[in-house]
A and B are shown apart, each in its own frame.
Chain A
Amino acid sequence: MATDVTENDQIGEINKYNFRTETTGVFKAQKGLTAEVVNQISDIKNEPDWMREFRLKSLAEFESRPMPKWGGALDLDFQDIYYYLKPTGQSEKSWDDVPQEIKDTFDKLGIPEAEKKFLAGVKAQFESEVVYGSLQEDLAKQGVLFTDTDTAVREHPELLREYFGKVIPPTDNKFAALNSAVWSGGSFIYVPPGVQIEFPLQAYFRINAESMGQFERTLIIVDEGASIHYVEGCTAPMYTTESLHSAVVEVIVKKDARCRYTTIQNWANNIYNLVTKRAYAYQDATMEWVDGNLGSKLTMKYPAVHMMEPGARGEILSIAFSSAGQHQDAGAKLVHAAPNTTGQIISKSISKNGGRSSYRGLVRVEPGAHNSKNNVVCDALILDPESRSDTYPYIEIAEQDVQIGHEASVSRIGEEQMFYLLSRGLTESEASTMIVNGFIEPLVKELPMEYAVEMNRLIQLQMEGSVG
C-alpha cells in the first residue's frame, strides 16, 4: 500500500512523489559495503566469473581512493547503506504481473499511462532491480535490444562485454568504482545499424526504502546511422536519513548515428546523487545530453561527450534548480579528440531559498583536433540574497586552429521585472514562476511536449511557497 508521507517533510514542499510503499522485498543484503556483500550480489544474479572479478576489483579500487575534495560536502557513511535490495522475483513484461504495491507506485507516477500514450518502450526499476520492461514489437523485430543490464549479462554476453566498462572504467573515479562493484539494474540498449526509433524509450528509477543505495548501470550502443531518444526519470520519498544514488551511464554513438539522452531528476532532498555519464561519439555522430536536475540533497554530475572521430558533435543542455538544503554541482564535459568536431554546452541554473547551484564544466581540445569549434553559454538566476551560484569552467586547449567561445551571466530577478508583472495583476509567486520559466524556456522547448509540460510542472512545484 502506498501511503503519503508528511511527517518527515522538513521543508514543507509536499509533492506527489513523496509517498512510500510498504513492500516486503525478496532479498535485502546486510547493511554496509564488504566483499561478502559484493559476492552475495554476484551470487544472486548468478553471474559469470568475469563479472564477479570485475566487481571485486572495482571494490578494491573504490576502497583505495580518497573521497573527492571538490564539489559538494559528502557526509556519507558507506557502512550505513543497504547496497542491494531485490524487490521481486523477476522483471515482468506485463504490468498485471508486477506485484500490486509496486505497480501502484508506478501508477501513481503515471508511468503505465505515459507508456500507452507516447513511449516506444519502458523500464521501471524499483530499488535494485528492474521490475517491468516493455518494447514495441516492431522495434524488437528490427533487432533493437532493450533489456535491464543484468539480463544483458546473461543473454547478450558478447555485445555487453565488448563495451561494458570501456567508456567509464572503474578506475575513472571513486563513485564509478563503487557503482562497478555493486551495480544492479539499469538499461541495456542496442540499436542496429540504420534503425531510427521515432518515440522515446524511457526508464524510470524509484528508490523507496530508507538508507538505500541505488546503483544502476546503463549501457547504450547506437550502431551506424541509427538514432534513439532515451529518457529517464527518478524520484524517491523523503526520509530522515540519506540515501545514495550512484549510477554509471555509458553511451557509444557510432558513425552517423544520433543519441539524445534526457534526464529529469527529481530525487527527494535527502539523496546524494553522484552519477558518471559519458558518451563516445564517432565519425559524424551526434550525442546530446539534456540533463535536468531539480531534486536531491547534493548532485555531482557532469555528462560528457568525447568526440572520437572527425565530424562528431556533442551538445549538452543542463538545467539545475536548487532550493533550501540543496546543492546542485552540475555541468558538462566536452572532449575534442579529433579534427572538425563541434561541441556546445548550454547551462541554466536557478537558486532559491538558500539553495546553491554550481556550474562545473570542462572543455578540452586534444592535440590534432584542429578546426574544432566549441561554445559554452552558462546563465545563472538567483532568486534571493540567501541563495548562491558559482561557476567553475575548466578549459584545456592543445591546438591552435580552434574556435572557442564562453559566455557566462548571473542575474537576480530584478525589482523592475517583478514590479512590471505585478502591475499586470500577477501575484508575486506567479510572477517569479513566470520569470523562471522564461529563463529556462530555451531549454524546455528542446524537450518533447510531454516532458516540457512535466518540467514546467516541476518548476511550478519548486516555486510554490518560494515567495513569502
Chain B
Amino acid sequence: MKMQGLSLETIPPIHIPFRFFLTAPWMGIVAGLALLLGSDQAFSSQWTPELRAVTHLLTLGFMAMVMLGAMFQLVPVISGHLIPGGTKVAGLVHVLLSVGVLLLVAGFYWQAYALMGWAALLLLLAFAVFLLALATLLRHRIGGDSIFSIRFAALALLTTVGLGLWLSASYAGLTTPPALANKATVHMAWGIGGWVLLLVMGASYQVIPMFHVTPSYPSLLARGLPTTVFVSLLTLTLVQLPEVQALAVLAFCAAAMTYAIFSIHLLGQRKRKLADITARFWRLSLVCLLLSALLATGLYFTDDPLPSPGIRHQLQVVLGTLMIYGFAISVIMGMLQKIVPFLSYLHLQRSCLSNFALLKTLPHMGEIIPASRSRWQFNLHIAALLTLLAGITTDQATTPAAILVTADFAWLSFSLISATALYHNTAQRITSSGG
C-alpha cells in the first residue's frame, strides 16, 4: 500500500460539492417549465424537441451535476488524496457544465443546431477536466468493490460523452454522424444503463450498509454485476449479430434485476427500523429499475405483435421516464437528504476544533433538513413520477405533470438553500465566538 501523501483529513472545502448541489435543482425547474410551456405532443415520442431538451436538463443538468459534485467530495475521502487542482478544477467544471447544458438544451428546444457545436465544446472540456482529475485518483488504489464499479462507470461516461459530442457535432454540421446502428439508442444505453447504473451500484455498496446498517453486498455479486453490465453494453455496441445482441440484452436486464432485487432484500434486513426517507427513496428507485428491466426485455423481444408504432414509442418514453425520473432522480434526491446535512455538520464540527464547548451548540442533521421537509420531498416526487407516466398516455396529464415536476425540484431547491443558509449562519456564529 502506498502511504505517501496519504492523509485522512482530506475533506474538500464545502463550497465544492455545494455549488453543484445548489445548481442542480434549478436545471430541474427549467425542465419542468419547458414541459409546461411546450406543446401537448411533447410525450408522443422520445424524439420531440421538448423531450430531448427536458431529458438533457435532467440527465446532464440535474443528475450529472449532482454526481460530479458528489464525486469531487467522495473520491478524495475514499482514496485519501485530494483532487489535483482542487477548487479551481471543480469551479471550472461547474461553470463549463452549467453553460454547456444550457446551450445544448437551447439547441434542442429551439432546434438551433448551431448552438450545439459550442455546447459540445464546453461539455467536452467539462468532462475532460473531470475525467482527468478522477483518473489520477482512481489509479491510486486497487480499491474495494465500490471503486471497482466506479471505474466501469467512468469508462461508460467517457463512451456516452464521446458519442454525445459526436452526435452534437453532426447536428451542428461539423462532421458526419457516427456509423453505428441506433446511435442515439447506444448513447442513451451507455448514459443511463452504463454511467448512471454503474455509479449507483458503486455508491450503494458503500452507502446502503453504512447509512441503513444492513449486511454488506457479497463481493462476488458486487463485482459480477457491474462486469456483466459493462460487457453486455460493449457487446451491444460492437456486435451486430441478432443472436448475440439478444443474449446481451438478456444478460444486461438480468444483471439490473438481480441488483434491484438483492438491494431491496438487503434494505429489508436493515437493523435500523426507523422510518427513513432515504431508505424509501432507495426502494422506489430500485422498484423502478426492476420495472424498467422487465419493460426493456419485453420491448426487445416483442417486435411485431404490438398494435401500432405509436404505442411502441410511448412505451419507450415510459422506459426512459422510469429509468431517469424513477430510478436515477429518486436515488439522488434521497441521498441529498442525508449528504447535505451531514456535510454541513462535518464542516461545522471541524471549525470547532479550537473550542470544543461550541460543539454542543451545532445544529444536528435533523435540524439542517427536518424530516417533515424530506417527507414532503418524497410525496411530491412520487406524485410527479406518477403524473409523468400518466402524461405519456393522456394529454390531459401533461400540464399537471409539468407543474409537479417544477414543484418537486423547487422544493428540493428550497430545502438545500435553507440548509446552506443555516450552515453559513452557524459558521459565522462560530467565527465570531472565536471557534
Chains A and B form a bound pair: no
| Interface residue ranges, A against B (CB under 8 Å) | none
| Interface residue ranges, B against A (CB under 8 Å) | none
